[in-house]
Amino acid sequence: MSSNVHGVKKVKTNEELAQARKQKEAVKIKEYNDLVSRCKEEVEAKHFEFSTLRLTSDILQLNPDYYTIWNYRREILLQGIFPTMDEEAKQQVLQQELEFFMQLIRINPKSYSMWNHRRWCLSVMSKPDWQQEFKLVGKMLDLDARNFHGWSYRRNVVANIREQQLDTKEIDTKEFEYTSTKIKQSFSNYSAWHYRSKVLPSILKDMTDEERTAVGKKELDLIKNALYTEPDDQSAWLYYWWLVGRVPSHVQIVGAYSVSKTQFLFVVFDDEVQLAGDIAVQDEQNNKVNGSCYFQPPTMPSPLHSWMMKHWQFSFSNWIQVA
């Protein structure tokens, strides 16, 4: 505290200011710890009442990431408050929970505990407004387009909207276009690339091979543009490595070889392949030889891909190798 002695104003030293700050912090810490202790005592005593709920509110306003207190809050609602209410009153309380979230999210928009609580509220609501949630998460991502929790929440909201619609093609297309917008705003937005990888399979699902290939080429063009613009960022690279397994390519058989006395058949492909079903094998009379295919890892580094088929109609060897 400054004073004026003989016309000279006394100014606190840095040490005095630091000491004053420590004293204020100590008071706040004690008040916070007292709140937590009282809350735990009430929960352990199973006093699941509005007064205990208010205690959790006081704590979460000071520390919104306190996961245990969020668990207490849900326990209080489920075991003490909801059982005394009709459905309309329960809906009102849950709506207040969503509003409480909006107060706290300004403190830490990337809090897992808070986003998890909002998901829970909507899961127990009888009539959740998913369209309103969709608008909300859109605004959140406009403020912070890299918020991973926001993207994860958007995926959850869209999944619930899809369950209410017979034709989901339109929403899948719009979500795909949304990722395009966010990626073009910032090629280093990993969350947008990741979300795109979740949407793309739905876009490709009903397409022909030609249409899928066309989409794949456009994706590669987008990736090339991203890598040219921000070559040191890993986001587009990670999406690329995911994508290469999704883009159709023409795999050719380089050759087929048999080894005498062993009944081993070797078929060589020019690229990595995954089999949608068993390879069709016929004998000299064009009769189908039944069997199953198994992946055979290479014994040395090779661009070729190996498979093994087990055929039951051979009398002196049950195994055929496919390479």
Looking at the fold, whether 205 and 307 belong to one and the same domain comes out as no
Check residue 10 and give its pLDDT: 64
Looking at the fold, whether 206 and 140 belong to one and the same domain comes out as yes
Cα–Cα distance for residue pair 69/102, rounded to 1 Å: 17
Structurally, how many domains does the chain consist of?
3
Q: In this structure, are residues 123 and 94 in contact, taking their beta carbons and an 8 Å threshold?
A: no
How does pLDDT run across 25-64, given as a tens digit for each residue? 888 899 999 999 999 999 999 999 999 999 999 999 999 9
Looking at 203, 233, 249, the residue that finishes a domain is: 249
Looking at the fold, whether 134 and 233 belong to one and the same domain comes out as yes
Check residue 301 and give its pLDDT: 41
What is the residue range of 291's domain? 253-322
Asked if the structure places residue 41 within a domain, the reply is yes
Six-digit token string for 147: 């918020």
Asked if the structure places residue 165 within a domain, the reply is yes
Asked if the structure places residue 3 within a domain, the reply is no
Looking at 249, 269, 298, the residue that finishes a domain is: 249
Asked if the structure places residue 4 within a domain, the reply is no
Looking at the fold, whether 133 and 123 belong to one and the same domain comes out as no
How does pLDDT run across 63-110, given as a tens digit for each residue? 999 999 999 999 999 999 999 999 999 999 999 999 999 999 989 888
Cα–Cα distance for residue pair 297/295, rounded to 1 Å: 6
CATH number of the structural domain spanning residue 28? 1.25.40.120
Looking at the fold, whether 122 and 145 belong to one and the same domain comes out as no
Look at residues 231, 262, 266, 267 and name the one whose alpha carbon lies nearest to residue 252: 267
Looking at the fold, whether 133 and 90 belong to one and the same domain comes out as no
- Please report which residue ranges of the chain form alpha helices under DSSP H: 14-44, 50-62, 67-76, 87-104, 112-124, 130-143, 148-163, 169-185, 190-204, 209-229, 235-243
- Average pLDDT along the chain: 81
Looking at the fold, whether 214 and 102 belong to one and the same domain comes out as no
Looking at 212, 232, 249, the residue that finishes a domain is: 249
Looking at the fold, whether 139 and 231 belong to one and the same domain comes out as yes
Distances (CA, A) of 2 to 16, 222, 244: 11, 64, 70
* pTM, entire model: 0.67
Mean pLDDT of successive 10-residue stretches along the chain, which has 323 residues: 55 72 83 94 95 96 93 96 94 96 91 92 94 94 92 93 85 96 95 94 91 93 94 91 68 54 56 60 65 51 44 35 34
Asked if the structure places residue 1 within a domain, the reply is no
Count of CB atoms within 10 A of residue 168's CB? 16
Helices 190-204 & 148-163, crossing angle to 10 degrees?
A: 20
Cα–Cα distance for residue pair 184/192, rounded to 1 Å: 10
Looking at the fold, whether 123 and 133 belong to one and the same domain comes out as no
Count of CB atoms within 10 A of residue 182's CB? 19
Cα–Cα distance for residue pair 199/71, rounded to 1 Å: 32
